[in-house]
Amino acid sequence: MNGFRYETKIAKSPSDVYAALTTKPGIQGWWTPDCDVPSQIDDLLKVRFGEMFHTYKVESLLPYEEVCWNCVEHFHNMPGLTKFDEWVGTRLSFRLKAIEEGTQLLFEHEGLTEQLECYPHCSERWPFFLGVSLKEYVEIGTGRPYIDQEPAEFDT
């Protein structure tokens, strides 16, 4: 399946990055404070952004190596969009690799392609949330999650 890919280096261990991707304080610290974060495969992860929300089935939790979620419910009501559930059936994978500088993160959003209405918005937001917010959260303890509006520091 085709999709969006993003890669970044984080100057902390894979265990630190893994915790940011798999715990409630982690998700709250870099993505959104309004979330339900499970701890087991086949459980549901729910993240909310005001009226918008995503629900993912947890597919893989390989400690310090990989986290995979399959989108099972999605409501994305942004101005200009007519399709609010385009992410249903897409898959998010976060692969972690220990490197000398810390961790190499390879993110893939399988199914997020240029044919989707939301692609221009989403392909800009993933680099912000992963390359800025997640990176800062893991490295310095403070990220830039969504809080009732787009992050103030994000330039569109």
CATH code for position 47: 3.30.530.20
Strand order in the sheet with 35-36: 3-10, 102-110, 91-99, 66-75, 52-62, 44-49, 35-36
Residue 154: pLDDT above 90? no
- Residue 150 inside a domain? The answer is no
**Residue position matching structure tokens 């972690």:** 96
- Residue 7 inside a domain? The answer is yes
Provide the CB-side half-sphere exposure for 123 (13 A, CA).
14
- Residue 155 inside a domain? The answer is no
- Residue 151 inside a domain? The answer is no
| Segment 26-51 mean pLDDT | 97
> CA nearest 98: which of 123, 74, 130, 64?
64
Q: What are 128's two structure tokens?
A: 């912000």
Which of 83-87, 138-142, 145-149 bottoms out in mean pLDDT, i.e. has the lowest?
A: 145-149
* Cα Rg of the chain (Å, integer): 15
pLDDT, position 78: 85
More confident residue, 48 or 150: 48
- Residue 145 inside a domain? The answer is no
Provide the CB-side half-sphere exposure for 8 (13 A, CA).
20
Split into its structural domains, the chain has a count of 1
pLDDT, position 82: 92
Distance CA 15, CA 151 (A): 26
Other Cβ atoms closer than 10 A to 66: 17
